[in-house]
Structure 1
Amino acid sequence: MNTPAVRLTDLRRVHRGVTALDGVRLDFARGSFTAVMGPSGSGKSTLLNCAAGIDRPTSGRVEIDGVPLDGLGERRLALLRRERVGFVFQAYNLIPSLTAAQNVALPLRLAGRRPSRAAVLDALERVGLRERAGHRPAQLSGGQQQRVALARALITRPAVLFGDEPTGALDTVTSREVLTLLRGLVDTAAQTVVMVTHDPVAASFADRVVFLVDGRVAGEMAAPAADAVAARLAGLEAVPC
C-alpha cells in the first residue's frame, strides 16, 4: 500500500490555553523507523498521543492505516487503537502476578478474544523471550521486562508501534539491545515504529529524526548519526523562546 501508516495533517492541540501542537504535517511511511526529538515542552509526547488516537487534536486530521480518526466515536476509536496501534512506554506496566505469556496475552483478553498459545509464544519469540514465557516480571531483568512489554504491543500485529522513551529506564547496554530489536522489527518484518526519545544514540537507530520546537516541526534528518543529532538538538535548545 502507498498510503502512509500514519498521516498527520495540520495538527493542532490546545490544552488549558497552551498550544502544544501548532499545524504539524507529517507522514510516517510503512516499514520505517522515525525518532521524534526536541527540547522539553516542544510537544513530543502530545504528538505521540494524538498520532496514536489517545488524545484528540483541537483541529487537524490524524489517519492511521488509511482510516481518519476524526469521524470515529469513542468505541470505534478504542477498537482501532486496540487492533492497529501498539504502545511501549518508559515504564514497563507489566502486572506482577502474571507470567510473561499472560502479560502478552492481556490486550487480547481485555478485548474479549482468546489468544492462542502459539500467537503468544510467537510474539515472545519475536523479542527473543520464548523461553521466558512462564517467568513473572520479578524474575526478569529490566531489559527483559521491556521486551515483554514490546511483545504485548506486537501481539495484535499493529500497523504502527509508538514508543514514548522506551529505553529511558534502561542502562546503556540493555538500551542498545532493545533498540537493535526495534531496528530488526523494521528491517525484517516491515514494522512501522515512531519513537519519542531524548537520546541521540537511540535516535541514530532510526531512519530519520523529526525535530519539534514549540509544537512545530523544526526540521528533519535522514540516516541520523548520533553526534549530528546531538549537535542539531543542542542548537534547537539554544534558540531563545
Structure 2
Amino acid sequence: MDDAVRLESLTKTYGSGTGAVSALREVDLSFPRGSFTAVMGPSGSGKSTLLQCAAGLDRPTSGRVFIDGTDIGGLNETRLTEFRRESTGFVFQAFNLLPSLTAAQNVGLPLRLAGRKPGRKTVLRALAQVGLEDQAGKRPSQLSGGQQQRVAVARALVTRPAVLFADEPTGALDITTGRELLEVLRKLVGSPVMGGQAADDPELVEPTTIVMVTHDPNVASYADRVVFLADGALVGELTTPTAEAVAARMTDLAVS
C-alpha cells in the first residue's frame, strides 16, 4: 500500500534566536492510502501545526511533504493553491456552509471555485457517500448540526481528493450526532464502494484517506491508528485503538 501523505523530517519553528519556538521537530510520518489516522497530543504538542503543514495550509521551516507523490514544497503559491483544491479536502470544527445555498450548491462550491461546472451526478455522488442524497435541496438552516457537518464532508470529497484532513470535526456536535459523523468517516475508509444509486453512476469511488486531529479518545478509537505528539515530536502510536488504551496513553503523556 503506497502513501497518500508522507512527511520527512518535518520541522516548523516560529520566531528566531533565543525566542524561537519549535512547534514540530524532525517528524517522519506516513499515511497509507485508504487509512484513517487520528493525531493526538497534549495542548501545544504540535498536532494542529502538523495538520496544517501536511495539508499545505502552512509551509514547514524544513523537511518535505509529499501528497499523492508530489513534493508540495516545490510548488509556488499559485500552484500550491490549485494542488490543494484538487488533491486535498479539509473539514473544520465549524461547518462553514453558505446559508443562502442548498446542500448541493454548497457541495459543488469547490468545483465552481476551480472554474468547473459541478455536474449533478458528481454532487449527488458526494452527498450519497455521507448518506444525504435526499437532502440535496435543503439549506443549512433546514439541517441538523450533524447533517451540516456531513454536507461539509461531502464538499471536501467532491473533488475526489487524495486525502481528507479533519480538524476536530466532531467538536461542535453532541455525542449522538458526533458518533453518526464518525461512522460516516469510518465507512469512507477501506475497500472501494459504489458511487451511489442516487448518482446513477456505477463508477467506483476510491477509498478515502483520512487524517484527523482530535483531543477525544472516543473519537480517536474510530481510527485505524493513533499517532501521538509531545513537544513537537512523534512519541508513539497505537494500532486498532480502543478509547481506554488511547486515554491511558494520553494520561502517560500528561504526567511525563
Same fold, TM exceeding 0.5?
A: yes
1:170 corresponds in structure 2 to 173
The match for 1:207 among 224, 239, 247 is: 224
2:93 corresponds in structure 1 to 90
Q: Determine whether 1:142 maps to 2:142.
A: no
Q: Distance between the aligned counterparts of 2:121 and 2:208, measured in 1?
A: 20
The match for 2:134 among 120, 131, 136 is: 131
**Matches of residues 184-195 of structure 1 in structure 2 within 5 Å?**
184-189=187-192, 190-195=207-212
Q: Is the 8 A contact 1:143 1:174 kept in 2?
A: yes
Q: Aligned-pair distance for 1:41? A: 0.5
Q: Aligned-pair distance for 1:187? A: 2.2
Equivalent residue letter for 2:81? A
Q: Distance between the aligned counterparts of 1:67 and 1:14, measured in 2?
A: 23
**Matches of residues 12-27 of structure 1 in structure 2 within 5 Å?**
12-16=11-15, 17-27=20-30
Q: Determine whether 1:111 maps to 2:114.
A: yes
Q: Distance between the aligned counterparts of 2:146 and 2:84, measured in 1?
A: 25
Q: Distance between the aligned counterparts of 2:30 and 2:156, measured in 1?
A: 21
The match for 1:161 among 164, 177, 182 is: 164
Q: Distance between the aligned counterparts of 2:191 and 2:99, measured in 1?
A: 31
Q: Aligned-pair distance for 1:188? A: 3.9
Q: Aligned-pair distance for 1:142? A: 0.3
Structure 1, residues 22-63: CA drift from partner, whole Å, max 9, x if none?
Answer: 100000000000000000000011000000001000000000
Q: TM-score, normalised by structure 2?
A: 0.92
Q: Distance between the aligned counterparts of 1:172 and 1:65, measured in 2?
A: 33
Q: Distance between the aligned counterparts of 1:222 and 1:175, measured in 2?
A: 22
Equivalent residue letter for 1:175? G
Gap runs ≥5 in structure 1: none
Q: Is the 8 A contact 1:21 1:214 kept in 2?
A: yes
Gap runs ≥5 in structure 2: 193-206
The structure 1 segments of at least 4 consecutive aligned residues displaced by more than 6 Å after TM superposition are none
Mean alpha-carbon deviation: is it higher for 12-21 or for 141-150? 12-21
Structure 1, residues 163-216: CA drift from partner, whole Å, max 9, x if none?
Answer: 000011111111111111111000243210000001101111111100000100
Over aligned residues, Cα RMSD in angstroms? 0.8
Q: Distance between the aligned counterparts of 2:173 and 2:243, measured in 1?
A: 18
SS at 1:45 equivalent: helix
Q: Is the 8 A contact 1:147 1:178 kept in 2?
A: yes
1:183 corresponds in structure 2 to 186
Q: Distance between the aligned counterparts of 1:95 and 1:226, measured in 2?
A: 35
Q: TM-score, normalised by structure 1?
A: 0.97
2:255 corresponds in structure 1 to 238
Q: Distance between the aligned counterparts of 1:231 and 1:152, measured in 2?
A: 35
Q: Distance between the aligned counterparts of 2:64 and 2:28, measured in 1?
A: 9
**Matches of residues 71-86 of structure 1 in structure 2 within 5 Å?**
71-86=74-89
Q: Aligned-pair distance for 1:3? A: 3.1
Q: Is the 8 A contact 1:3 1:65 kept in 2?
A: no
